[in-house]
Amino acid sequence: IIIILLANMVTAGVKDGAGSDTLGPEATAKRSAPVARLALVEGGLEVSEAHDGPSGIAAFHQHNPDLVLLDIGLGSMDGFEVCRRIRSSSTCPIVFLTSRVDDIDQLVGFAAGADDYVGKPFSPRVLTARVHAVLRRENRGNLDDSTSHVLEVDPLRVDLAARHATAKDITLDLTRTEFDLLVALMERPRQVLSREQLLESVWGSTFYDGHVVEVHMSRLRGKVLAAAGITIGVAVRSVGYRLGLG
């Protein structure tokens, strides 16, 4: 497995191996990329490293990686633009590693095609766990023809093998995460799913902040509404979400 690591050496932040005390500013600036690389290598992953947008895109095309770990602050070509360019030709999972974890930055990142965020300062163990979780999701989604299966909850239809979704026969332009979230709702259309259930089903772990569910659900709901004029992903106060049809 090859991970392309795009790390901004100036704004980086790292926590110690126990995930507790934050290293000082100079140490974090020098150690972020090496610590992240070491953590991933020790986690059994092969890593190729780049430190700016153009070289990162070149490395991406050279190595055809299984996942991209991407910093936002990369100079003239920021991480959002790198993400957009990669996403225009590939469905490779993209994880942002950044200290910019405000809602607006997350929304911009998810709109650009990101699959997940890891905030800085970070624990190497947490980083490795999140990367492996995203890779598990990707492997789970790679179905061959023998496992072809279609879910239908009128007027929604999902082809799991082709990873194609429609609403009222209108194709939905969904990210990987939005597609998986729609599948989770359609598999249990009459059930209210808690945030924890959705995190386990879609992200493969309950380790994530439940806020990530809200962000992706909002984007999924907006896309379905814009395409077909129907509302899905109905929030049930203090419980979770249900598909919301019928």
Each residue's pLDDT tens digit, 65-75:
999 998 887 77
Q: Which two tokens mark 54?
A: 């153009």
Q: Distance between CA 21 and CA 246 in Å, rounded? A: 51
Contact indicator for 217, 233 with CB cutoff of 8 Å: yes
Range with lowest mean pLDDT among 179-188, 189-198, 200-209, 229-238: 200-209
Q: Distance between CA 227 and CA 1 in Å, rounded? A: 37
Q: Which two tokens mark 228?
A: 């077909």
Global pTM value: 0.70
Contact indicator for 56, 70 with CB cutoff of 8 Å: yes
Provide the pLDDT for residue 126. Answer: 85
Q: Give me the residue label for tokens 């359609």.
A: 186
Q: Distance between CA 143 and CA 38 in Å, rounded? A: 31
